[in-house]
Chains A and B, each alone.
Chain A
Amino acid sequence: MIEVRDVTKSFGTQQVLRGVSLDIHRGEAVVIIGRSGGGKSILLKHLIGLLQPDSGTIRVDGEDITTMNERSLLRVRRKYGMLFQMAALFDSLTVEENVGFVLRRQGVESDAEIRRRVAEALEMVELPGIGHKMPSELSGGMRKRVGLARAIVYRPEIVLYDEPTTGLDPIAADNIDRLIRRVWETLHVTSIAVTHDMKSARTISNRILMLHEGRIYSEGPSAEILESTDPVIHRFVNGISTPRNLNE
């Protein structure tokens, strides 16, 4: 479904991606793990065309999205939903308007139909009846759940999650993980998340890829990666710093 080949990306003199190649198949639940600042979110943004690589190709259902302009990308992006790290809700719109935004853009004209689908999406993220609230009235966990409702209300084929549990308390984080798992199982979407939260990675994935020093260092079934004895993976998964890390 998504093929990434030899993607490189630099910002100024800093090379973040140094030749990333990976494949993601339809219906998979993939998590990309790696150190903070290692380029995970950058890679995720490449998968949906929010960033263009310096070199390499990214194919979505056979179409190379690296050569497309912004307008052509809009068509491809209809396959995607994305939950941002800070939810990125439109702060001038109510929750209902946020979640229903894309439906209005897609030309769903019946207000009753939009309200029904918004209510259904809010029900799925366990936040019924908050459509009238403004994003500023919501807690961090609620904002993420509304962001998730907005990402799935139009039934995308692929859902991207950028650090879905960052900034949440353990209960709220577990709640988000359960919802992500439920969305994957009930809507049969392809789920791609980036995180450095190992508990979350264990819950929401069936395959893990590790991004290390700008490349995919290792990939495999979740249990295999999380139990790996490879020193780099083992240290990361178990949160063991080395003397070199003390200066970071």
Chain B
Amino acid sequence: MPVLIIHQRFRAFTTQLGEIFQLLVESLRSLRQQRPSWKDFLHQLHFVGVKSQSVVITTGAATGMVLCAQTFLQFHKVKMDTATGAVVSIGMSSELGPVLAALMLTGRVGAAMTAELGTMKVTEQIDALRTLAAHPVDTLVVPRFLALLASAPLLTAESVVVGIISSWLVGVHLLGIDSAYYLVNMTRYTDPPDVLTGLIKSVVFGAIIAVVSCYKGLTCQGGAEGVGRATTEAVVAASISILITNFFLTLFLSRLFYS
């Protein structure tokens, strides 16, 4: 019996994975064949990009400050205080910045997208769209997909910059690190590939959030309870996908840039 349950769950998981990949392919095909609606794209860009700034800035600032304090406390024991800026900068640019920004976007934007599309699904608005000869992928998925692809790297960059500035404020003005050494070590050890790694990751994470959230919304079933369930599933699935993808991207990009 447990074997049967595992088999069924594995089959359901692989089916969903296949359908999510199909949605990604359909979105790319739509982009190639149709001109996306500028109005819808700008509307989504405003929702995803502009309205997520406070969340992303707060996350970046908090992470930069904590990372700086923790790194300083350890490095101070071996008299390496001035290396704190470099660790914060590299950590924020290539790992913490993109991952934490993506997780915050999943919670704020991904959940909202799933809930919106899920509600449209259970109130037959998506069926209505189809009867009006409009493809849901062209009309609903592509503008959201593009908005996340455009916004995610910009929000990540913003988060990283705010994190580094916050760490400088904490390091220099609170912990007493020399400002000149802090900045020189930061710029000396942070390479363009570190920044590029973070930006590439953010684009991939943006695509994951868009496709997973839209898929969960479009396949939502069963009224208000179904919308709630789909939203939870979307946040969990996108968050786990981001964390797993991050590991493989780190390996792949470090080999690409440093081998």
B123 A102 Cβ-Cβ under 8 A: no
Nearest chain B residue, comparing its CB with the CB of A162: B124
Nearest chain B residue, comparing its CB with the CB of A74: B133
Contacts of A85 in B (CB 8 A): 124
Contacts of A59 in B (CB 8 A): none
Which of A27-35, A75-83, A232-240 lies at the interface with chain B? A75-83
8 Å CB interface, A6-63 against B: 45, 48, 50
Bound Cα distance from A90 to B131, whole angstroms: 13
- Min Cβ gap A52→B in Å is 12
As a 0/1 sequence over residues 147 to 178 of chain B, the CB contacts with chain A under 8 angstroms (1 = contact) are 00000000000000000000000000000000
- Min Cβ gap A144→B in Å is 13
Contacts of B130 in A (CB 8 A): 50, 70, 73-74, 77
Contacts of B125 in A (CB 8 A): 88-91
- Min Cβ gap B106→A in Å is 22
A84 B127 Cβ-Cβ under 8 A: yes
Does B17 reach chain A (CB closer than 8 Å)?
no
B135 A82 Cβ-Cβ under 8 A: no
Bound Cα distance from A45 to B130, whole angstroms: 11
Does B134 reach chain A (CB closer than 8 Å)?
yes
- Min Cβ gap B76→A in Å is 54
Contacts of B128 in A (CB 8 A): 82, 84, 88-90, 150
Does B132 reach chain A (CB closer than 8 Å)?
yes
Bound Cα distance from A11 to B39, whole angstroms: 38
A74 B135 Cβ-Cβ under 8 A: yes
8 Å CB interface, A123-155 against B: 150-151
Does A2 reach chain B (CB closer than 8 Å)?
no
Contacts of A86 in B (CB 8 A): 123-124
CB < 8 Å A-B pair total: 55
B132 A102 Cβ-Cβ under 8 A: yes
B131 A50 Cβ-Cβ under 8 A: yes
Which single member of A70, A81, A106 contacts B131 (CB below 8 Å)?
A81
Which of A102, A105, A106, A160 has the most CB atoms of chain B within a 10 A radius of its CB? A105
A105 B123 Cβ-Cβ under 8 A: no
- Min Cβ gap A53→B in Å is 17
A77 B131 Cβ-Cβ under 8 A: yes
8 Å CB interface, B223-237 against A: none
A88 B133 Cβ-Cβ under 8 A: no
Nearest chain B residue, comparing its CB with the CB of A45: B127
Bound Cα distance from A198 to B124, whole angstroms: 25
Which single member of B120, B132, B135 contacts A70 (CB below 8 Å)?
B135
Contacts of B129 in A (CB 8 A): 90
Which single member of A45, A91, A101, A160 contacts B132 (CB below 8 Å)?
A101
- Min Cβ gap A20→B in Å is 20
- Min Cβ gap B154→A in Å is 25
Bound Cα distance from A101 to B128, whole angstroms: 11
Contacts of A48 in B (CB 8 A): 131
Contacts of A45 in B (CB 8 A): 127
Does A244 reach chain B (CB closer than 8 Å)?
no
Bound Cα distance from A74 to B136, whole angstroms: 11
Nearest chain B residue, comparing its CB with the CB of A78: B133
- Min Cβ gap A152→B in Å is 12
Query: Knowing A86-B124, A88-B123 touch, does A105 contact B131 (C-beta < 8 A)?
Result: no
As a 0/1 sequence over residues 88 to 99 of chain A, the CB contacts with chain B under 8 angstroms (1 = contact) are 111100000000
Contacts of A50 in B (CB 8 A): 127, 130-131
Bound Cα distance from A150 to B120, whole angstroms: 17
Query: Knowing A50-B130, A77-B130 touch, does A88 contact B124 (C-beta < 8 A)?
Result: yes
Nearest chain B residue, comparing its CB with the CB of A103: B132
Contacts of B123 in A (CB 8 A): 86, 88, 91
B127 A71 Cβ-Cβ under 8 A: no
Bound Cα distance from A85 to B128, whole angstroms: 11
Nearest chain B residue, comparing its CB with the CB of A50: B127
Please list the residues of chain B having a beta carbon within 8 angstroms of any beta carbon in chain A. 120, 123-125, 127-135
Q: Which 3 A-B pairs have the closest CB atoms?
A: A88-B128, A88-B124, A82-B131
A78-B133, A90-B125, A160-B131 known; 17 new pairs, CB 8 Å cut-off, are A48-B131, A50-B127, A50-B131, A70-B130, A73-B130, A74-B133, A74-B135, A77-B132, A81-B131, A82-B128, A86-B124, A88-B125, A88-B128, A90-B129, A91-B123, A91-B125, A150-B132
Sample 20 A-B pairs with CB under 8 A, ordered by A number. Answer: A71-B135, A73-B130, A74-B133, A77-B130, A78-B133, A82-B131, A84-B124, A84-B127, A85-B124, A86-B123, A88-B124, A88-B125, A90-B120, A90-B125, A90-B128, A90-B129, A91-B123, A101-B132, A106-B133, A160-B131
